[in-house]
Amino acid sequence: MDTYADLVFVGGRVVTVDAEFSVAEALAVTGSVISAVGGREDVAPLIGPGTRVVDLKGATLLPGINDSHLHGCAFGTASPPLSVEVGHPAVSSLADVAEAVREAVGRTPDGQWVTGHGWDTGFLAECVADPSRQPSRGDLDAVSPDHPVVLYSFSGHATWVNSKALELIGIDRDTVAPPGGAIVVDATGEPTGLLHEGAQALVQNALPPLSRRERADAIRSTLAALARLGITSYTEPGLGPGGDGIMRGTLGTETLDVYRELLADGELTARVGVLLLPTGMASTAEEFARNLDALDRVTVGDDPRRLAILGVKVFADGIVPNKTAWMHEPYVGGGCGSLCVGGDIDDDRVAEIRAMIRHAHAAGHQLGVHATGDRAIDTVVDAFAEAAAGHPREDARHYVIHGDFLTPHAMKVLAAHDYGVNMNPTIKWTVADMEEEFVGAGRAAYAWPYRDALDAGVRVASGSDAPVTHPDWRQGVATMVLRESKAAGRVSGPEQRIALAEAIRTYTIDAAWQDFADDWKGSLEPGKVADLCVVGGDLLAADPRAIPELPVVLTVLDGRIVYETTAGSPSDEGSDGDSDARTGADTGVDVETDADIPRD
């Protein structure tokens, strides 16, 4: 042989995710690409003196996981030490949150902001016992009278601040919320410390921006976490002047500059696709067009398979727990929400969103549009169709982001144009029980209709929306198969369950389709890039409830190992289990270190 393989896997379940979802037994990697897939006899001729041969011992080899909606920089900043953890299960009550803030204040210099992330009223005991009880500035003032405190909700669509923060931001009873936002007030008209949707921009404008070093450290932290999960690609959905309100200082072209630097320095251990965000909530079509035209001059590095600008993000509406998703039928208690773009009435706002989509489509961009309510989704997909009719384009691959209440009408339109939807199974898992109080049991069960969407022929990809939820694709797969909720373990919408193979596709080949990359990544086929994820145990035969516990033991990007466990891994062939081997009791397999393959 002129060229031997660098890395060969044998003795496992090689889940190719090809068109037939075929399962092989062996795979070879030469350089950065997959050189053979099949049986042991197919890879044997590629084994040379420098080849590392790994016995999977029944473990599962998958394409590298593609989290197709993940705020990479924000996920890093939402984790300690840059942020206080105030999400479940770290806290379970308002008192717990106050204690976490008190501890943070004790280690924060005078005058500096204390930031935290993750609170969810569905997991705070006082709010669960009395749904009218909401977080307030009073909960934080006693433990932080002098330090400004800002705590982001798990969804990124609500922010909780203390009185000192309100003072510094300049919010009082006379402050008018920006269009598309809400400053929550009490019975006397005083701000409670809760800010929803576009009103969060008031906080963002007051906070000191993250330094470049803080941004880089946040992204490095995210990359390490993703490698441990077998994630080799993700979409960073919203870098640009718009800012999506999800986390302090993680947006803008400055973050894109940091990504460029990490790529140039060889530190970008995942493939990153970027959606540019020209404007935030409550913007106008004129502002959107002006900013988008300026962003057309933004460039990335010289490796578009590692860092690429894929398209443009637009916000159409908010989210159900804030009653800001635009719905056809009223919420429990009244109201239907609205679009969150500029305009005084619904017709004006519809015209604005149509103009934004029309402009971006005509300019040749892929569109990813945040739309959660059924009426917002119908409006967006009709705007897609209108834009396509007015300016025909090949292979635009537009998609709805989230698509919680995707309607049959929307599915039909998306399928007809070969457009997609990006759903979030771990959000479904997190909020399934809570949503009933906002939209009733029937609509809550329907939310994220995977089965109907796939049956309608819609392209479906899955993402975590981290830091909204942890980017654990294993939990996402289990949720798609089971439709069970996190809090109570109740089944929510069993008719929307999908098969394991279909769930895996949403995190691999269909996510690659969203990236315009399904011809070179997303499945294990000869000639495609060697992005791999090894899971201990037989994923295809596992009890779905056990899938989240299956360990990720090896992650490969471009043929290079970027993560390898010290326990629970397959073994190099020839390992005799001596004292150099590291044993994983959970899977009953070993790993022995080997220097034949370079590691990042």
Same domain for 160 and 112: yes
What is the rounded distance in angstroms from the CA atom of residue 515 to the CA atom of residue 125? Answer: 41
Number of C-alpha atoms within 13 angstroms, CB side, residue 188? Answer: 4
Q: Average pLDDT, stretch 405-428?
A: 98
Q: Which residue has the higher pLDDT, 61 or 592?
A: 61
**What's residue 112's pLDDT?**
86
In 39-190, DSSP assigns E strands to 52-55, 60-63, 65-67, 84-85, 114-119, 149-153, 158-161, 181-185
Checking if the pLDDT of 373 tops 50, the result is: yes
Least confident range of 68-72, 122-126, 471-475, 494-498: 122-126
Identify the three-state secondary structure at position 61. Answer: strand
Residues spanned by the domain of 81: 74-206
Q: Give the Cα separation of 554 and 205 in Å (integer).
A: 42
Is pLDDT at 244 greater than 80 in this prediction?
no
511: in domain: no
Q: What is the mean pLDDT of the chain?
A: 90
Residue 153's identity, in one-letter code, is S
Q: DSSP assignment of 25-51, as one string?
A: SEEEEETTEEEEEESHHHHGGG--TT-
Confidence of residue 242 (pLDDT cuts 50, 70, 90): low
- pLDDT, greater one: 196 or 418: 418
Q: What's the mean pLDDT in 521-550? A: 98
Q: Is the pLDDT of residue 1 over 60?
A: no
Predicted confidence band of residue 2 (pLDDT cuts 50, 70, 90):
low
pLDDT value, residue 583? 26
192 is a domain residue: yes
Q: Quick check: 460 pLDDT over 90?
A: yes
Considering 206, 236, 255, which residue would you say is the last residue of a domain? 206
Kindly state whether residues 173 and 89 are assigned to the same domain: yes
Asked whether residue 286 is domain-assigned, the answer is no
558 and 584, same domain (yes or no): yes
Same domain, 99 and 156: yes
Give residue 574's pLDDT.
56
- Are residues 85 and 149 both part of a single domain? yes
* CATH number of the domain where residue 53 is located: 2.30.40.10
| pLDDT above 90: residue 253 | no
The answer to whether residue 243 sits within a structural domain is no
Residue 198 — very low, low, confident or very high, per pLDDT cuts 50/70/90?
A: confident
Tell me, yes or no, whether 375 lies in a domain: no
Whether residue 192 has pLDDT greater than 90: yes
Supply the pLDDT for residue 118.
Answer: 85
Strand partners, 273: 235, 308
Same domain, 84 and 138: yes
Whole-number pLDDT of residue 206: 80
Residue 436 exposed, middle or buried by CB count within 10 Å (0-12, 13-18, 19+): middle
Asked whether residue 42 falls in the same domain as residue 113, the answer is: no
Asked whether residue 576 carries a pLDDT value surpassing 80, the answer given is no
Among residues 206, 228, 244, the one where a domain terminates is: 206
Q: How sure is the predictor about 580, in pLDDT bands with cuts at 50, 70 and 90?
A: very low
Tens digits of per-residue pLDDT, 494-520? 999 999 999 999 999 999 999 999 999
Question: What is the number of domains present in the chain?
Answer: 2
Indicate whether 115 and 171 sit together in one domain. Answer: yes
Same domain, 34 and 152: no
pLDDT at position 566 is 67
Q: Is the domain of 49 the same as that of 116?
A: no
The structure tokens 């630097």 sit at 261
Residue 596: pLDDT band by 50, 70, 90 thresholds?
A: very low
The band of 301, judged by pLDDT with boundaries at 50, 70 and 90, is confident
The arithmetic mean of pLDDT across residues 160-168, rounded, is 92
Same domain, 197 and 94: yes
Task: Provide mean pLDDT across the span 228-245.
Answer: 83
Domain assignment present for residue 460? The answer is no
What is the mean predicted confidence (pLDDT) over 225-239?
96
Percent pLDDT > 70 in the chain is 92
Weakest-pLDDT range from 113-122, 184-193, 380-389, 462-471: 113-122
pLDDT higher than threshold 90 for residue 366: yes
Q: Beta-carbon neighbour count of residue 494 at 10 Å? A: 11
- For residue 531, tell me if it sits in a domain: yes
The CATH number linked to 126 is 3.10.310.70
Task: Point out the least confidently predicted range of 46-60, 242-256, 460-474, 570-584.
Answer: 570-584
pLDDT at 497: 98
Per cent of the chain over pLDDT 90 is: 74
Q: Is residue 220 domain-resident?
A: no
Rounded Cα distance, 394 and 296, in Å: 20
If phi over 0 gives left and psi between -120 and 50 gives alpha, with beta otherwise, what is residue 18?
Answer: beta
Domain final residue, candidates 149, 172, 206: 206
CA distances from 369 to 132, 273, 387, 431, 483 (A): 32, 16, 14, 21, 25
Q: Hey, what's the torsion of the CAs at 397, 403, 406, 410, to 10 degrees?
A: -30
Q: Do the beta carbons of residue 24 and residue 37 sit within 8 Å?
A: yes
Q: What is the model's pLDDT at position 572?
A: 75
Q: Is 271 left (phi over 0), alpha (psi -120 to 50) or beta?
A: beta
Same domain, 46 and 105: no
In the predicted structure, residue 315 carries a pLDDT above the cut 70: yes
pLDDT band at 426 (very low <50, low <70, confident <90, very high): very high
pLDDT at residue 590, rounded to an integer: 39
- pLDDT(584) > 80: no
Mean pLDDT over 105-111 rounds to 88
